[in-house]
Chain A
Amino acid sequence: MRSFCRSAPCARKSFRLGIVRAQGALLHVLLLACLVFASATHAQAIEPMPFANHAQEVRFQQLTAQLRCPMCQNETLADSNAPIARDLRNQIFQLMQHGQSDEQIKQYLVARYSDYVLYDPPLKLGTMLLWFGPLLILLGGAGVVLMAIRKRSRAGTTAGMPSDSTPTDNGDDW
């Protein structure tokens, strides 16, 4: 929207508006630069591979994004630039060309690098605590809350009694 100013305050306001607009533009440029550089480094990490078709490429990207690089620990095989990640990506590509399913490829890697390579850990005896630990903590928290509520309600009924003449603790800690 464009308006013409005839008064000083209005001119000042439109000047400030101009600054805000300039800042906005600068922000846009910065964000764009971030985006460009981010995609540039991403492209460096992943060398082009001779995929048979687009579907295979998508499948490859999805599979490698679910697998953890054993060397660089908090990166996926898709993101990592470590030599071992490159080798494993090549290996996965080769296995795909040989018609192996995602599950078979995962098994291949687990047999060599243990469950560690899976970002989604399987449910088994050793991972019970991992899967159900949060539930245990939630139940424990619920227990504490229940106990506190019971105590409060008991304290509340006794505090109202006239026989209890000590005013020091009405059960309200806060």
Chain B
Amino acid sequence: MSRLLPFFAFVLLVELFGFGIWWNTQHDPQAIPSPLLNKPAPAFVLPKLYEPTVTVSKSDLLGKPYLLNVFASWCVECGVEHPVLQAEAPTLGVLLVGYDYKDAPEDAKHWLAEHGNPYGVLIADQPGQTAIDFGVYGAPESFLIDGKGVIRYKHIGPMTEDVVTSELKPAIAALQKETP
């Protein structure tokens, strides 16, 4: 029995390593859980991308839930995510708000002209100051914000079809059940 002990220790170690590998495939190790989840979204006032003289604030968007999608023309992963947003935007049932992050307005406009514009409202944060309040540390990131202005769901990294069907749509459905 005592001679088998090293073998059991070995099996235990293998299981531990196996769990580590499995765990890293199950979640994105780069994603930091947002402390803002289920808390009111930070107040913001940002200019529209196509009409820089007009601003959109948090209170302007209160009343109905919306999906705030942080993107930029310089962001490679956003190009990966974009076709999914294009395809899914009409079926989401919530307003899609584009948040152009640290981008030259001209670059963003070119990028949208090339890839298409799925956004109902488009705001630009060129200095990236407001994004710090949202805890944004890269693009793309997406926030589902309810009618009361509370962040209900956050996704870091590109929106894939998988994420839309397994996470985003159930989250939206739960919101719509709450506020008929």
Q: Measuring CB to CB, which residues of chain A are less than 8 angstroms from any residue of chain B?
A: 70-71, 73, 83-84, 87-88, 91, 110-114, 116, 151, 173
Contacts and interface: CB of A to CB of B under 8 A. Distances in A.
Q: Secondary structure of the B side of the interface?
A: loop
B133 A112 contact: yes
B35 interface: yes
B32 A112 contact: no
Q: Secondary structure of the A side of the interface?
A: helix
B18 interface: no
B77 to A, nearest CB: 13
Q: Sorted from nearest, which 4 A-B pairs have the closest CB atoms?
A: A70-B137, A112-B135, A114-B35, A116-B32
Contacts of B135: 112-114
A145 to B, nearest CB: 14
B128 interface: yes
29 contacts: A70-B32, A71-B137, A71-B138, A83-B128, A84-B136, A84-B138, A87-B129, A87-B132, A88-B132, A91-B129, A91-B132, A110-B35, A111-B35, A112-B35, A112-B132, A112-B135, A113-B32, A113-B35, A113-B135, A113-B137, A114-B32, A114-B33, A114-B34, A114-B35, A114-B135, A116-B32, A116-B33, A151-B2, A173-B3
A113 B36 CA distance: 8
A73 B30 contact: yes
